Structure 1
Amino acid sequence: MKRTVLSLLVFLAAGLVTLASPALAQEAVQMPQPPLEGYYTYGKLRGVSTDEAMRGAAAATTVPMWGYTVTSSRDSNTYSGVMVGRSPFFHGARTTTIPVVIIPVKFTMTDHDVGAQVFDPTAADPTCSPHGSAVTVFQNSPILNAVNFTMPFSGGINVGSGQYVDEFQRANFWSNVSTTGNRFHTTLSPVTTLPVQAVTVPTGHGKGYLASDFVGSFCGSLGGLDGSWWDPVIFTGGSGGEAQTLISSLTTAGKISPTQFPIFLFYNVVMNQTGESACGSGCALGYHNSQGFPVQTYGVADWDTTLLFDQPGSTTGNSSVMSHEVAEWMDDPLGSNPVPPWGHIGQQPGCQGNLEVGDALSGTIVPQVLLNGMEYDLQELVFFSWFYGAPSIAVDGTFSDNNTFTSDAGAPCT
């Protein structure tokens, strides 16, 4: 799997910062200067064919999925893929609910000069998260609660009331679903939150960094987690890892199943390809994956309040990472929906050939959404028609849900 880099979050030259620890008073430690470099990644279903996955969906042994076949106007080729839910093209009045399970993960990073640091999404953090813990504000967010959405957000068309990704999906296929009124939805429900899963990260596989370790004014602490220890399936193409151990134990205990969408929720913890560096070579903010038979889909997302990844015009603040991953899970659950190659935009400096609806606009935020007294950062998402070509079947003939893209992806990327 090729890693892609979030080019919207410009990585500045590394500077020298001397940590305050007495043990290192004489040692200059090289630290990257914020905004730190972040990216999103994904896994592809292995060992199970798409046909087998779809048979499981038809038998209700995994999440519901529907298939499509489309001829692209970008290259005149025909492509087939699958998405979560029910088809908007046939019987477009159908509403689907998918149970979601929030799995908060508390990491204790033993490797830091000032002692162990704890990153707990269930803990209060009034300085950096004044509206509640990461779990609380996620539970209260537009990703899991209905909001009345207009797309594009300024001067667009009202697409209805629902969760953000549900309303994005309605807007995505507006030409088909608008004729059915408000009857087509793909909703995350019911929502279950498991007790926090406590993980102590071995030395060498995770490290805590204080905001004061970096140049500038930032909030709290950042955890750098070794991705190859956490989930080598994603980061090195290997097997095993702490994520797989948790998935196995929670499945055995009956806490999660392939018919549900489990989401591992981190708080200010990001993942490196290997090691525990503070994103000097880039950090993964989240990913989605599918595996096994019946197919188990799952997502992983950081809830970021550090501000270490933010810069004018782009952000990873609070719910933006989660909105990115939930949308990509819904529109490319197996990680391999083929499209004419696109690239040289968003987090992709090269070419990419699958339908990941967040990657081309990584870091681009729609106008903040106020809900339950908090302003949420939601990432702008790319419509189906941008990948396969004009004319757009999305709301108002657009190509992304806040109209940043005013035309399709153009000639196939080379």
Structure 2
Amino acid sequence: MLKPAEASANSALATFNYTTVSTRDGNTYSGVMVGQDPFSSGPFTITAVDTPIVPLIITTKSVAFKISRGGILSRIKGFTTFDPTVADDACLKSPNDVPLDVALQSPIFQATDFSFGPTSVGTTQYIDAFQRGNFSLQGTDYHTLLSPRVLRPIHLVFPANEALAIPSGLFGACGPLGIVNINTIYPVLLNLLAEEGFDSSQFPIFLMYNTVMSIGVPNNLNKCCILGFHDAIGSPIQTYSPFDFDTTGLFGPTIKDTSIAAHEVGEWMDDPFGNNPTPLWGHVGQVGGCQDNLEVGDPLTGTNVPTVTSPVNGFNYHLQELAFFSWFYGAPSIAVNGWFSDNNTFKHDAGPVCTKK
């Protein structure tokens, strides 16, 4: 695997390199983030990243009808289509009933007033607000923004043994949930990256609706569910992210609508190539063991900032809380308010280097 700086040199994505000494273990770490160098003397400007959004219309050919005590779904033949471009009045309410439109009008892509505690970090997109707070850049012209544009929807049909639908009645959801084997959809996504002609300066997003991924066969709930990921592949290195816009409520009250987008886009911003090293941390959020990279969403999966009501459409958006740079590398915090995460859930850094429990 390329080192972060080598990866940056092999991509046209607008990035900066950083080097820091961790107070958690005394070692020096180097990595890459998207945008302008916040450690420079400026002047600071706007970095805008072209963000093509590809709506994925997904059709599955099997339907679950029973679950065993061991978490295995029994299934029969049946077609179900998950389409983010059409109204879903079962899980959403008019006029905010077209998932793609609701996603585009969210604080992930639209300017919204953000304050972290007593401090305003500006009227901007959520991940930019996070990054401004991350390095105490509120009050400056520093911005890293997504420039979204919607491309034609792509319809994917998966074989019955590689994808299924869980009907609403099985778990009491408002609508069905699709599950696709990640080993099946991953090469499809790589082919789409090539076919659509994206270049490495762009950040393509593949938007799914109420559809998640399994590790292996989709009827084994013990291997489910991946709600999204960010990835970097090829040469020049292309970053991209597929994720679910979820309205089923099956993943709890906090993992809804744009909480998954906040997680994945935040991690892309601060670890675009997936290899920014940190001292070991873990046993928190979705990480049961130890992890050693700068994934700002993983430590706080399931924990959100206060719900944001959009001035554009009045929709109440869920946005995951994200961990600041200083949480990974150690106190004192260089972030806004001296915090370690953008809703102050973390009161200190990640602590002693992680060990297995």
TM-score, length basis structure 2:
0.92
Matched residue type, 1:300: P
CA shift in 2, pair 1:278/1:302, >3 Å: farther
| CA distance in 2: counterparts of 1:136 and 1:126, whole angstroms | 14
Q: Residue 349 in 1 paired to residue 288 in 2?
A: yes
CA-based RMSD: 1.3
Q: Residue 50 in 1 paired to residue 22 in 2?
A: no
Given the alignment, which residue of 254, 257, 262 partners 1:318?
257
**3-state DSSP of counterpart to 2:223:** coil
Given the alignment, which residue of 233, 257, 276 partners 1:291?
233
Deviation at 1:243, TM superposition (A): 1.1
Given the alignment, which residue of 364, 367, 370 partners 2:303?
364
| CA distance in 1: counterparts of 2:31 and 2:299, whole angstroms | 19
Query: Higher relative contact order at CA 8 Å, sep ≥6: structure 1 or structure 2?
Result: 1
Q: Residue 204 in 1 paired to residue 161 in 2?
A: yes
Matched residue type, 1:142: P
Given the alignment, which residue of 103, 122, 134 partners 2:54?
103
Q: Residue 194 in 1 paired to residue 151 in 2?
A: yes
Q: Residue 67 in 1 paired to residue 17 in 2?
A: yes
| CA distance in 1: counterparts of 2:221 and 2:194, whole angstroms | 29
Matched residue type, 2:98: S
Matched residue type, 1:275: V
| CA distance in 1: counterparts of 2:263 and 2:78, whole angstroms | 33
Q: Residue 182 in 1 paired to residue 132 in 2?
A: no
**Residue pair 1:109, 1:116 contacting (<8 A) in 2 also:** yes
**What's 1:37 paired with?**
none
**Residue pair 1:53, 1:293 contacting (<8 A) in 2 also:** no
Q: Residue 275 in 1 paired to residue 225 in 2?
A: no
Given the alignment, which residue of 120, 139, 148 partners 2:113?
148
**What are the Cα deviations for residues 201-221 of structure 1, in whole angstroms up to 9, with x where unaligned?**
01210001101112xx32100
**What's 1:220 paired with?**
175
| CA distance in 2: counterparts of 1:55 and 1:244, whole angstroms | 21
**3-state DSSP of counterpart to 1:148:** strand
| CA distance in 2: counterparts of 1:224 and 1:87, whole angstroms | 39
**What's 1:158 paired with?**
120
**What's 2:73 paired with?**
none
- What are the ranges of 5 or more consecutive residues in structure 2 without an aligned counterpart? 64-75
Moved over 6 A (4+): none
Q: Residue 126 in 1 paired to residue 68 in 2?
A: no
Q: Residue 376 in 1 paired to residue 317 in 2?
A: yes
Query: What is the aligned residue count?
Result: 338
**3-state DSSP of counterpart to 1:261:** coil
| CA distance in 1: counterparts of 2:116 and 2:5, whole angstroms | 34
- What are the ranges of 5 or more consecutive residues in structure 1 without an aligned counterpart? 1-45, 232-240
**Residue pair 1:102, 1:264 contacting (<8 A) in 2 also:** yes
**3-state DSSP of counterpart to 1:109:** strand
Given the alignment, which residue of 229, 248, 261 partners 2:194?
248
Matched residue type, 2:34: V
**Residue pair 1:365, 1:378 contacting (<8 A) in 2 also:** yes
Matched residue type, 2:192: L
**Residue pair 1:125, 1:132 contacting (<8 A) in 2 also:** yes
Deviation at 1:280, TM superposition (A): 3.1
